[in-house]
Structure formats: C-alpha cells, structure tokens
Copies of this chain bind each other. A is one copy, B any other.
C-alpha cells in the first residue's frame, strides 16, 4: 500500500524473469542477493533442482531462498520452478496427443521430424561407441600427429566433416590444409612424403576425393580414410581406414558419428603432437 510493495505479480516468461533479476540484483540484502546472483547465473538449474539444492549451492538457508522466491514475485519455489519447467513441455502437443502420435507414427509435419532425426543421431552415437574404431583411431591420430602438414579432403556430405576438423586442428595449432578445389586448383604439389592426409568419403564415393587421395599416396604421403562402408576404394591404398555407421531417417543419413569421431581424432592428434 505504501508504495514499495514487493512486486505482486510474478514474471510470466523466462525473459521477464531474467530482466527482473537484473533489476533487483544489488538492491537486496546480502543473502537474498546471493540467491539472486546465483540464480541469474544458473538459470538452467532451477528446473531440475530442489529448494535445498539451490539454497545450498547459493550458500544460504532454504528459508532464505524461499523468501527470495516470494520477493521475486512468486508464491513459492514451486511456482518459480513451474515457469522454468514450462519451457521444456509447453510448446509440445499435449501429452495425450503425443501418445496418439506415437501410435499412428505417420505424422511428419512438426516436431516429430526433429525427434526422428535426434533419435537417428542417438543411435549413430551408440554405434560409434560399440564399433571397434578405437584401435584404428589411435593409429590414425598417431599418424596425423607425426605429419608435417595434415591434409584434409572430403566432398559433398563429407565436406562438413573435414571443414569442421580443419577448424578444430587450426585451433589446436596443428598445421592443416583443407583441400577445396576452389578455382579447380588441386594443390597436389603441396603434398610431400612427410605429410599425412585424411580423406573422408561416404557411399556413393566421390571420385575426386578418391583420386586426390590416391595421388597423395603415390607422392609418398601417409593416407588415412574415413568412410561408412567396407567397400570404399580407400581400403586399397590407405594405411588405415576407419568405418562409421550412421543411422538415417527417410534416406537422410546423420553426420553425428562422423563428427564426433573426427572431433576426438583432432584432440588426440593435437595431444600426441604436443607430447613429442
């Protein structure tokens, strides 16, 4: 009634909550401010934590955190948590409706598609863990780490894989050359016997990639391969070829396993390189 009542209505959205937090931080008593600051920095924890968890993490008593929720405008912790949990569930069709979807299995229009791709990605990552790639992975990392320059080549679907690896290796201070064929320059002369190449190609295999890899091998470089099939021509001349199995949705293969593998490979390579 006076004028400075603690905000009566609670924030209706996460954005509003963040704004309000930024407003009140600094204006609160010590312990309450700890609550506000901690919460501001760990918004993602609210949805999955209990009051005691939050209070303990913020370094205050549960009752203080409780009161903080009220000053914040909520009825209590449960109300505040509800807001943060909402985002995980609200935009989705109702539970019952989802169940129907789950049965009919025909709906491809909305989030089902995204969920399907996510599922395919998950399966790819499981296969990756189960596959025997580990031995080979070490060998390839070893080989790449000893190279003067690491040459990366991959076309079409494989290009995202090699370009990501080029980015990682550059950040890890490993001399890298990403072959792109810009201006139809093939850069074969760049490859020397002290170098190593990683060629990535998935079925149906890119003739250009195979050719370039073969030429690199002929020039004396160590060639490694990454593919999704035992029939890959790289097996004919590559020192070591890794095979990843990607799952697919309606003909669209994911890249999750390949990217995860090459990320690990990049880090391993950089580590081995520093170790020598």
Contact = CB atoms under 8 A, between A and B. Distances in A.
A193 B220 CA distance: 52
Interface in A119-142: 119, 121-123, 125-126, 128-130, 132-135, 137-138
Contacts of A122: 18, 122, 125
A41 B118 CA distance: 9
A28 interface: no
B99 A58 contact: yes
Contacts of A49: 89
Given A37-B102, A88-B48, A99-B59, A109 B15 contact: no
Interface of A: 15, 18-19, 22, 37-38, 40-42, 44-45, 47-49, 53, 56-59, 85, 87-89, 91-92, 95-96, 98-99, 102, 108-111, 113-119, 121-123, 125-126, 128-130, 132-135, 137-138, 156-157, 159-161, 163-164, 167-168, 182, 250, 252, 254-256, 259-261, 263-264, 267-268, 271-272
State the majority secondary structure of interface residues on A: helix
A264 to B, nearest CB: 4
A116 B93 CA distance: 32
Closest 3 CB pairs of A and B: A160-B164, A57-B95, A88-B130
